Amino acid sequence: MRKTSLTLVATSLACLLQGAPAHAQAFRTWVSGVGDDANPCSRTAPCKTFAGAISKTALNGEINCLDPGGFGAVTITKSITIDCHEVFASILNAGTNGINIPFDSFNAALDARRTVRLRNLIINGVSSGLIGIRITGGATVTGGAVFIEDCLIDGNFGGSARGISEERSGGGELFISNTTVRNMGQTAIQINPIGPTGAAVAGQRISITVDNVQVQNANFGIAIGNNGRATINRSVFAGHTVAGIEAEGPLAAVEVHVSNSLISNNGIGVQNATGTVTIRLSHNEIVFNTTAFSGATQSFNNNRVQGNGTLATAPTPIGAASGPTGHQ
């Protein structure tokens, strides 16, 4: 009899312990400008910061914003969504990065999706920030996808001084849409795999899709490095001291396709800096740059290139106008 009771108690305890993690993390958590990180981050008891909410949010879950506020810098180490649409949601990142996404800290066994979604966030470095969104990894965890939608990233002039820095060496996907990246001391959007020693490496293929993104006032608008393959559509690259669009592939080939975009008022409009680089241009306005092109580029014969200081290296037409690969 006593043995049976003990078994029952042990079984009940085991069931309770097994159930505990499911209750500890919710699939939807909330932050509020007047919340408290001691709270469970529920709608009625919201947290104050993203960093406080993330540990209470389940894998593949979502953090939402109840009301306007500054919700602090955060490091993301699992598949999650931070979506503050319709609410003013800011991160001030003085002297630091706004959002770190170190994929090597993800649990590769449990986290099959490895997907981070960021929506409607304003990330302001207040002139001293380092990087708005920094994506790293590839040494132990490869792949993964990051979606950046409807965000504003501004004012990073400390350290690397970038807006978005994609440094994964193990491949992956990056999607940026309906977003503004501006006022950076160095590069607004940089894609370049970085090795453990901090040096650029060949890395695995990083696919980047940029749609309806305003990139303004940095040294470089977008710089795409080794093994990057970028599709850029309906975007603006303006007011960059050195180059609006720059690609360099000294360690691995880079491909860039730019369409329906405005590239204006830059030192160089489109720059093929070094290495194995293919840049294809279609239906773009390339105007008022000091130099329109530097290095080899290819054109579908349908770009408007006017009012630049110098044309420099004219693009090479892709096939005949009536050819299968040309302007059709």
Partner 1 sequence: MMQRVIRKRGLMVRVGITWIGVTALLAVNAVSLAQTVTQSQDSNQKQVFLVRKDTAECSGSDVPNVDSPLVGGNVVVTRLRDETTRAEVAMTAKPNTTYQFSLKCVRRLGDITTDDEGVAIVSFTYPTNSVGNAYAFEMHPEGAPPGNRYQSAQVAF
Site for partner 1 in 11-40 (CB under 8 A): none
Q: Which of the 8 DSSP states describes residue 305? A: E
Interface with partner 1, residue 93, by CB under 8 A: yes
Interface with partner 1, residue 246, by CB under 8 A: yes
Helix H or strand E segment including 176: strand 172-184
Choice from 7, 13, 27, 95 touching partner 1 (CB under 8 A)? 95
Interface with partner 1, residue 72, by CB under 8 A: yes
Interface with partner 1, residue 233, by CB under 8 A: no
How far from 118 is each of 56, 57, 115, CA to CA, in Å? 17, 15, 10
Q: Which stretch, 17-25, 79-87, 108-116, 217-225, contacts partner 1 (CB under 8 A)?
A: 217-225
Q: Which of the 8 DSSP states describes residue 41? A: -
Burial, 322: exposed, middle or buried (Cβ in 10 Å; 0-12, 13-18, 19+)?
exposed
CB closer to partner 1, 271 vs 299: 271
Interface with partner 1, residue 291, by CB under 8 A: yes
Interface with partner 1, residue 139, by CB under 8 A: no
Measured distance CA(222)–CA(70) in Å, rounded = 28
Interface with partner 1, residue 264, by CB under 8 A: no
Strand 69-70 and strand 236-238: the pairing is unpaired
Measured distance CA(102)–CA(194) in Å, rounded = 12
Decide: 100 and 65 in contact? Cβ < 8 Å.
no
CB closer to partner 1, 51 vs 318: 51
Instruction: Summarize as ranges the residues that interact with partner 1 (CB under 8 A).
Output: 48-49, 70, 72-73, 75, 92-97, 100, 102, 126-131, 134, 158-161, 185-187, 198, 219-220, 223, 242-243, 246, 248, 267-268, 271, 273-274, 290-291, 294, 309-310, 312
